[in-house]
Chains A and B, each alone.
Chain A
Amino acid sequence: EIVLTQSPDTLSLSPGERVILSCRASQSLNSNSLAWYQQRPGQAPRLLIYGASSRVTGIPDRFSGSGSGTDFTLTISRLEPEDFAVYYCQQYGSSRTFTSGTFGGGTKVEIK
C-alpha cells in the first residue's frame, strides 16, 4: 500500500506569509493522482486540489499545487486568517489503476 508522508507536522506562521507544504509518496503515483484537502476545526474536509495541480472551482487562487512522481507540494501564496487549518494529501489512482486511497498524516498550519 502506498504511504504518504507529510512534512512538517506543524507550521506556526503569521497572516500574509507564504506557506509550502510537502507530501512525499512511497512510490510513484499514476497520473499524478494526488489531492489536497483543508480541514478546519469541527468541519468536514474540503477538496482544494486534485490531479496534483488542478484547483477546484471556487478555491482562491492563492492555493496552488505542484509536483509529480513521488514529491508534491501545496503552496499558499499569502495566508489569510481562514487558512489556519489542517491540510491533508491523498493519493487515489484512476478508475483503471485504483488500489487504495490513503491519506497523509496532515500538516497543521497555526497562527504564530
Chain B
Amino acid sequence: QVQLVEYGGGVVQPGTSLRLSCTASGFTFSNFAMYWVRQAPGRGLEWVAIIWYDGSNKYYADSVKGRFTISRDNAKNTVYLQMNSLRAEDTAVYYCARASPSLAAGDWGQGTSVSVSS
C-alpha cells in the first residue's frame, strides 16, 4: 500500500532555510511525478511544486519561485523541498503527494508543519 511520510518541519525565523523530505514506500517511486502542496492555518490548499518522475522537469507556484527548490533521489525513494528565504506567509502544513498517471494528486502524506515566526 502506498505510504508517504513527510518530515523536517519545525519553527524557524524569517529569512532562514529549511529542507523538507518525503519518503515513499509501497510503489515504484521512480515511475511517478511528485507534488508538494501546502495549507496555511484555516486556509485552502495551495500547490507549491511538482517534479517529474525522472527529475527532468520541475514547476513552481509563483509565490515560491526562486526561493524553493524541489528535487528527488530515486535511489532513496525520497522527494525534497528546499525552502530558502522563508517568510511568515510560508507558514503551513506541507503535504507531499504522488501524482497519478493523469497528474492529479492521487495519494497524500499526512503533512509536516512549518511555522515561520520571529
Interface set of A (CB-CB < 8 Å, partner B)? 1, 33, 35, 37, 39, 44-47, 50-51, 54, 56, 86, 88, 90, 92-95, 98-106
A106 contacts B103, CB within 8 Å?
Answer: no
Binds A, one of B23-31, B43-51, B66-74: B43-51
A47 contacts B44, CB within 8 Å?
Answer: no
Q: Which residues does chain A contribute within 8 Å of B103, judged by CB atoms?
A: 33, 92-95, 98, 101
Interface set of B (CB-CB < 8 Å, partner A)? 33, 35, 37, 44-47, 50, 52, 57, 59, 61-62, 95, 100, 102-111
Q: Which of B47, B52, B59 has the most CB of A within 10 A?
A: B47
What is the minimal beta-carbon distance from A1 to any residue of chain B, in angstroms? 6
What residue of chain A has the Cβ atom nearest to residue B4's Cβ? A44
What residue of chain B has the Cβ atom nearest to residue A94's Cβ? B103
- B104 touches which one: A35, A102, A105, A106 (CB < 8 A)? A35
7 contacts across the A-B interface (CB closer than 8 A): A33-B102, A44-B109, A46-B108, A47-B104, A95-B103, A100-B47, A103-B46
- A102 touches which one: B33, B47, B95, B107 (CB < 8 A)? B47
Given A98-B59, A99-B59, A101-B59, A50:B102 Cβ within 8 A: yes
What is the minimal beta-carbon distance from A75 to any residue of chain B, in angstroms? 18
A88 contacts B44, CB within 8 Å?
Answer: yes
